Amino acid sequence: MEGVVWPPLALGAKAALVALLHQLEETQWWPRDKTAAMQFSQLAVLAGHAASHSPNFRERLQKAGLTAADIGTPQGFKRLPPLTRRDIQAAGAALHCTEVPQTHLPIGEVKTSGSTGEPVVVRKTSLSNLVWMAMSFRNHFWHGHDFSRRFSTIRATITKQEERPDWGLPLKLLFDSGPAQLIPVTTDIKEQVRLLRQFRPQYLILCPSNLAGILDECQKQQEPLTGLTGITTINETLKADFRQKAEAYFNTKIDDIYSSAEMGSMALQCPVSGLYHVMAENIILEVLDDNGQDCAEGQTGRVVVTDLLNFATPLVRYSINDYAEAGGVCPCGRGLPTIRRFLGRERNLVVRPGGAKHWPTVGLIKFHEVVPVNQFQFIQHDLENIEVRLVTGSAVTAAGEDKLRALIHENLGYPYKISFVYFNQKLPLQPNGKFEEFICKV
């Protein structure tokens, strides 16, 4: 508010963000039971809305013999069979709500292929955005980031390399900040290292496989990046052995964020224990064994998530195709549930003839403009040849393949020889039981 320095007074959208942040400061310390009770109160309202406005959600309830009110109880909730990515693909527009509360508008759309190369479309609202912003602040607060420092970010969503006077949204809504450097993830790793050496950031945010590429390049040059005080990793699984190696090499701590395009930030690392805390104020995260039962502490199972605040696309018991090891009570005193580690999301870098390497943004390819693609996988066999495995909703003509090839060339930034191989239903897993969207055999 104009003329007011202290106490700071925010108005409009900023006021909602500030109010939410203050509540999150409190709710993180609530006991588990109290949080769970409020989650189910919220879920009852969400399920009521979704049952009225999402034909697919209504059908799910009917098939399971449940009412919307049942979903607001732990027993009823557990009786709803999880929703898979293939279910979302099959539901199409019937998944989305035909109406959304006025105050949640506007609606945006995210397309994501997740960890298994299965593209889905999910709608999000301004409320999802508010929560996403609040959780980014929470991560900054938990890890004591100093906003006056220099900050570099390497992401798939950045299209142009540039420097800016501040850290950008959402931080600049509430705080002054130091300069930032933005680097597209498709930039050759060697060039990334050059840019980072030139800018000298204290903070760096990027995905683990990109960080691994930078570490290799620095080792090759026999010169680590200096001056880093914090690294944040996103998008993929951060393996324990790599974390150790990178923390030692760059002489700094890594805080990892478990997130996805359709769900936002789902879990952040505890600054005290290193466990991941689930963002229980808007997410229910279940870790289930093969029988669909909750895993005990130390057991590994598949991750099923519920977004308590998405009134545009009901993601209730959504099987996101990641795996996690359940955690226990955290010594920090926060009541937010914990996960020891996440498993399963990894990606190789693509290698160009000449040796340049970068993170492949194959999840962003607009396959759907040519043909409905249920699942894809890229296998780079050598410097020139890439095999593209596809499960499609309809047959692809030669002309269709030419269009797909052009989209792939544009995305990868090099005219690789592309061969298409088609599969029915599902693509085979790798011998280690995992699935990667992009495999590099070079």
- Output the CA angle 198-202-203, nearest 5 degrees: 110
Distances from the Cα of 418 to the Cαs of 259, 327, 366, 383, in angstroms? 31, 43, 16, 12
Nearer to Zn ion, 137 or 276 (CB): 276
Per-residue burial over 3-35, b = 16 or more CB atoms within 10 Å of its CB, e = otherwise: eeeeeeeeeeeeebbbebbeebeebbebeeeeb
First to last CA, the chain: 57
Total length of the chain:
442
Residue numbers of the site for Zn ion (CB under 5 A)? 270, 273, 330, 332, 334
Q: How far is the CB of 332 from Zn ion (least distance, A)?
A: 3
Q: How far is the CB of 281 from Zn ion (least distance, A)?
A: 15
Closest alpha carbon to 437 in 370, 382, 390, 385: 390
Q: How far is the CB of 327 from Zn ion (least distance, A)?
A: 9
Nearer to Zn ion, 27 or 84 (CB): 27
Q: How far is the CB of 329 from Zn ion (least distance, A)?
A: 9
Closest alpha carbon to 284 in 78, 50, 25: 78
Q: How far is the CB of 34 from Zn ion (least distance, A)?
A: 17
CA dihedral 419, 424, 427, 429 (to 10 degrees): -130
Q: How far is the CB of 300 from Zn ion (least distance, A)?
A: 20
Q: What does DSSP assign to residue 414?
A: S
Q: How far is the CB of 331 from Zn ion (least distance, A)?
A: 7
> How many angstroms separate the CA atoms of 165 and 150, rounded?
10
Nearer to Zn ion, 330 or 404 (CB): 330
> How many angstroms separate the CA atoms of 347 and 438, rounded?
6
Q: How far is the CB of 141 from Zn ion (least distance, A)?
A: 13
Nearer to Zn ion, 29 or 422 (CB): 29
Q: What tokens were used for 285?
A: 């995260």
Nearer to Zn ion, 30 or 199 (CB): 30
Nearer to Zn ion, 335 or 363 (CB): 335
Closest alpha carbon to 242 in 213, 212, 203, 216: 212
CB 31 within 8 A of CB 335: yes
Nearer to Zn ion, 51 or 270 (CB): 270
Q: How far is the CB of 276 from Zn ion (least distance, A)?
A: 9
CB 385 within 8 A of CB 353: no
Nearer to Zn ion, 193 or 270 (CB): 270
Nearer to Zn ion, 16 or 332 (CB): 332
CB 366 within 8 A of CB 425: no
CB 283 within 8 A of CB 266: yes
Q: What tokens were used for 299?
A: 């057991």
